[in-house]
């Protein structure tokens, strides 16, 4: 039996990272996780093992510690691919603490890439975001849409990160890289063993909805209903986290295959469908049978009116497509919330 291909997942205890570890293990890869647990709990390892029966090898350290990154790769020369999730990702916090975001998100990326070049063929997948598009001029958004000036240091670290990777791939043909620009990930694993564990007050819509329904929050504030959209609320592309995780596996498979594709590609990963805030609320009320307590308030600074993906490039080139309907994804989020609150 051939030795399984070894893949590093940084931030593998996080929300998207943990779901991707599960899909990688179930696709037959051996997974090693690096996580500093600054925004994730080691208990997630048990959830992963409960699903796959294989506790991944885990090392806890901060990727800003360059010596530890070098030591790690010297101890694991057989890692063929790296999926890089580890980063600070709170938009608001990044405005308050820009240097923390530039050091953590970009410093770690440089240290990783230094270990992935000059060592023979290596694959690298970067967790990027549709935030790089800002308010796109045309919808749905294609990968050719212009990158707009970032609205936050967080968004800027994604833009600069992609440029760092592109510049590196240009002079290092041995590095095969893909950036996946996520739209809005939602939901939890169908096993209910892993899911989103936002620390503190959730910034994102779906965890705020489920925490409100669970009684942790008094009510959901809907940030504006005076946008130029059919119901006045903002439109986003909410993609089920397991569909997103699976996109990483197919992207990795593309990179591991000897191929003559250019060594750096970018893909939009969404459903291709736009959904408004009120439609998400109605979806939740349908699947939970509960009326959600919410009220319309003023707009949130920095919000774009609409963002949803043109997924034809990922569909055609990766052979990947999101298959989970909104209600099903929202139901997994609600099941997970009830479980972690032992409701
Ligand atoms: C969605 C919609 C809000 C909360 C962010 C990051 C992006 C990515 C996904 C990391 C908006 C509305 C929200 C609430 C609300 N993260 N909303 N009340 O802003 O589209 O994207 O998360 O990569 O990079 O920018 O997601 O869930 O915060 O907001 O009305 O309490 O829900 O106004 O229209 P967003 P979100």
Q: Consecutive 10-residue runs of the chain (343 residues): their mean pLDDT?
A: 93 98 98 96 97 97 98 97 96 94 98 96 97 96 96 96 98 97 98 94 96 98 98 98 98 86 93 98 98 98 96 97 98 98 85
Pocket test of ligand 1: the residue of 84, 89, 157, 236 to mutate, having most ligand atoms within 8 Å of its CB, is 236
Predicted pLDDT of residue 261: 67
Hey, whose CA ends up nearest to atom 36 of ligand 1?
Answer: 204
Return all residues near 245 (Cβ < 8 A) that are at least 6 apart: 16, 19, 20, 22, 23
Angstrom CA distances, 45 to 11, 41, 190, 195, stand at 12, 8, 17, 12
Predicted pLDDT of residue 284: 98
Gap from CA of 70 to ligand 1 centroid (Å):
36
Atom number, ligand 1, closest to the C-alpha of residue 307? 20
Residue 182 annotated to the active site: no
- Which residues are paired to 37 by β-bridges? none
Q: Is the CB of 126 under 6 A from ligand 1?
A: no
327 with 286: CB under 8 angstroms?
yes
Q: CB of 131 closer than 6 A to ligand 1?
A: yes
Choice among 133, 154, 182, 264 that is catalytic: 154
Atom of ligand 1 nearest to the CA of 222: 30
pLDDT score for 343: 77
Length of the chain: 343
Q: Quick one: angle between helices 15-26 and 44-52, nearest 10?
A: 20
127 CA to middle of ligand 1, Å?
17
pLDDT of residue 306: 98
C-alpha 150/C-alpha 132 separation (Å) is 6
184 CA: nearest ligand 1 atom:
9
Cβ 211 under 6 angstroms from ligand 1: no
What's the pLDDT score for residue 259? 63
Atom from ligand 1 closest to the CA of residue 204: 27
* Res 106: pLDDT: 98
What is the model's pTM? Answer: 0.97
Which pLDDT score is estimated for 60?
Answer: 98
């Amino acid at each position: 039996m051939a030795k399984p291909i070894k893949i590093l997942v940084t931030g593998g205890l996080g929300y998207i990272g943990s779901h991707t570890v599960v899909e990688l293990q179930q696709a037959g890869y051996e997974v090693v996780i690096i996580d500093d647990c600054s925004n994730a709990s080691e208990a997630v390892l048990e959830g992963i093992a409960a699903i796959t029966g294989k506790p991944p090898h885990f090392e806890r350290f901060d990727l800003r510690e360059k010596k530890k990154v070098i030591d790690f790769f010297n101890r694991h020369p057989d890692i063929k691919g790296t999926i890089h999730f580890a980063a600070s990702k709170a938009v608001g916090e990044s405005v308050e603490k820009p240097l923390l975001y530039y050091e953590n998100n970009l410093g770690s990326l440089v240290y990783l890439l230094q270990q992935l070049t000059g060592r023979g063929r290596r694959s690298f997948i970067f967790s990027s975001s549709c935030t790089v598009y800002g308010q796109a001029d045309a919808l749905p958004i294609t990968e050719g849409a212009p990158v707009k000036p970032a609205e936050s240091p967080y968004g800027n670290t994604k833009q600069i990160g992609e440029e760092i990777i592109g510049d590196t791939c240009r002079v290092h043909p041995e590095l095969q890289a893909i950036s996946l620009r996520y739209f809005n990930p939602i939901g939890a694993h169908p096993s209910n063993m892993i899911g989103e564990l936002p620390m503190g007050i959730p910034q994102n819509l779906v965890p705020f909805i489920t925490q409100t329904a669970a009684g942790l929050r008094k009510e959901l504030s809907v940030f504006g209903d005076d946008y130029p959209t059919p119901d006045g609320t903002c439109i986003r592309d909410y993609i089920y986290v397991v569909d997103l995780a699976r996109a990483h596996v197919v992207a990795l498979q593309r990179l591991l295959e000897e191929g003559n594709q250019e060594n750096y590609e970018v893909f939009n990963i969404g459903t291709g469908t736009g959904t408004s805030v009120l439609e998400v609320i109605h979806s939740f009320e349908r699947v939970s049978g509960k009326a959600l307590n919410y009220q319309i308030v003023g707009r949130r600074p920095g919000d774009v009116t609409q963002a949803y993906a043109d997924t034809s490039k990922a569909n055609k080139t990766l052979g990947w497509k999101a298959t989970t309907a909104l209600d099903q994804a929202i139901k997994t989020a609600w099941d997970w919330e009830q479980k972690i609150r032992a409701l």
